[in-house]
Amino acid sequence: MFSKRLSYRRLLAATLAAALAVGLMIGLSIGPASAQVIPGAAAATPLVIGHRGAPGYRPEHTLASYELAIRMGADFIEPDLVSTKDGVLVARHENEISTTTNVADHPEFADRLATKTVDGLSLTGWFTEDFTLAELKTLRAKERLPDVRPNNTIYDGRFPIPTFQEVIDLAARYRVGIYPETKHPTYFDSIGLSLEEPLVATLRANGLDGADAKVFVQSFETTNLRQLNRVIDVPLVQLIGGTGAPYDLVAAGSDLTYDDLVTQAGLRQIARYADGIGPDKNRIVPRDAAGFLLEPTALVDNAHVAGLLVHPYTFRAENMFLPMDFRIGTDPNRYGDIAAEYELFFGLGVDGLFADQPDIAVYARRLATDEAA
């Protein structure tokens, strides 16, 4: 499997070099309609990834959120994955679920309240690893950002927590891709609930473990991606935080940081085990201390030279998440000029992006594509 992987990457590198030399973008279709991409090379049409589904409109990581993202034209839907007590992968951004479920309203689970250290942080709440899947299924999701997205709260208490398999089934029904992220892999290893084995088993059981599957697997950690590279052929994406360091490296005593990973040498190292990077978007267009945009960095070009796709996160329409340049008015919760932000990033050559409002991303992509034609 490992030698096969290396030859696959050499093929991709040669393909990228040829594409750059003749100025052409050619590709293998892995998404619906317009999505064209060669894993490991620049994409002809950037992918729209429904970040946690479509959380601008529905509580995140629910089948309702994912389905809406698909109907809005997202090419991929993104489940973050954590484990239950009985080893089932479910879609949640954190294993601590008090912010996104009604667990606190369930008296039968009051004694599960706990304080734990996860990735070096002390957290008090309810944790997925203390619940069986059957128990978790009695909970309902709620809006994470009720003050920012009050309309979404009408759905509070309505949607259950989906399993990874249920997300796969939904994506298969609509023939879109999945972009799973394992959350806190070092932590889950430490409590005997490793995420990667069930991830691989589930992908295999669904025939989604090959290089041609509509799948990207992503992580902020590095060790798990290196291990996955040896056992599955799906494209892997190294997430890169805006600050800090991969927690697996911190736990191992390494002083390597995300800053080191985005150097040209760091990108070449990533290309040995992954097919793309998922950087905080501020690493592509930084902001000054007041929140105004600065000149773009060379990260997109450098990653492409290394043979890596670039899928930055996270694009959100509300003013509070936008650079000052694109805010409209002073209300932090009203929409700003997110289309201008998309235009900026599409113009810089990103190969995809994570969007909270996938419909606007699809609209902006159409504008960018029409202008380029």
Residue 239 interacting with ligand G3P (CB under 6 A): yes
Residue nearest to Ca ion (CB): 181
How many angstroms separate the CA atoms of 340 and 346, rounded? 10
Question: Of the two residues 181 and 248, which places its CB atom closer to ligand G3P in the complex?
Answer: 181
Using rule CB under 5 A, residue 181 touches Ca ion: yes
CB of 219 to Ca ion, least distance (A): 9
Q: Of residues 49-108, which lie at the interface with ligand G3P (CB under 6 A)?
A: 51, 80, 93
User: For Ca ion, which is the closer residue by CB, 181 or 341?
Assistant: 181
Would you count residue 94 as binding Ca ion (CB under 5 A)?
no
60 contributes a contact to Ca ion by CB under 5 A:
no
User: Which of residues 160, 314, 337, 349 is near ligand G3P by CB under 6 A?
Assistant: 314
Using CB under 6 A as the binding rule, whether residue 354 contacts ligand G3P is answered as yes
Residue 16 or residue 353: which is nearer to ligand G3P going by CB?
Answer: 353
β-pair type (76-78, 177-178): parallel
DSSP run (H or E) holding 81: strand 80-83
Q: If you search the block for the tokens 């736990």, which residue do you land on? A: 251
**Residue with Cβ nearer ligand G3P (304 or 311):** 311
Is residue 107 classed as helix, strand or coil in its secondary structure? helix
Using the rule CB under 6 A, which residue among 247, 258, 313, 326 binds ligand G3P?
313
Contact (CB, 8 A) for 98 and 110? no
Q: Does 202 bind ligand G3P (CB under 6 A)?
A: no
Residue 314 binds what, of Ca ion, ligand G3P, none (CB under 5 to 8 Å, by partner type)? ligand G3P
Q: For ligand G3P, which residue of 218, 223, 319, 357 counts as binding (CB under 6 A)? A: 218
Distance CA 109, CA 132 (A): 12
Beta carbon nearer to ligand G3P, 26 or 242: 242
Q: In angstroms, give the least distance from the CB of 278 to ligand G3P.
A: 5
**Contact status: 80 vs Ca ion (CB under 5 A):** yes
Site string for ligand G3P, 261-280 (x = CB under 6 A): -----------------x--
- 102 makes contact, choosing from ligand G3P, Ca ion, none, with CB < 5 to 8 Å by partner type, with none
User: What DSSP element (H or E) covers 279?
Assistant: strand 276-279
Q: Are the CB atoms for 185 and 194 separated by under 8 Å?
A: yes
Q: Which residues contact 336 (CB under 8 A, 6 or more apart)?
A: 317, 318, 319, 322, 326, 327, 328
How many residues can be counted in the chain?
A: 373
Question: What does 269 interact with, of ligand G3P, Ca ion, none (CB < 5 to 8 A by kind)?
Answer: none
Q: Give residue 234's Cα distance to chain centre.
A: 15
In the complex, least distance from residue 193 CB atom to Ca ion, rounded to whole angstroms:
19
Residue from 181, 248, 275, 318 touching ligand G3P (CB under 6 A): that is 181
Which backbone phi and psi does 86 adopt, to 5 degrees?
-95, 25
297 binds ligand G3P (CB under 6 A): no
- Write down the least CB distance from residue 267 to ligand G3P, Å: 18
Query: Locate tokens 């957290």: which residue?
Result: 123
Size of the site for ligand G3P (CB under 6 A): 10
Long-range contacts of 91-94 (CB under 8 A, 24+ apart): 91/61, 91/161, 91/162, 91/163, 91/164, 91/167, 92/61, 92/128, 92/161, 92/183, 93/52, 93/60, 93/61, 93/144, 93/183, 94/183, 94/184
Peptide bond into 314 cis (omega under 30): yes
The residues that touch Ca ion, with contacts defined as CB under 5 A, are 80, 181
The residues that touch ligand G3P, with contacts defined as CB under 6 A, are 51, 80, 93, 181, 218, 239, 278, 313-314, 354
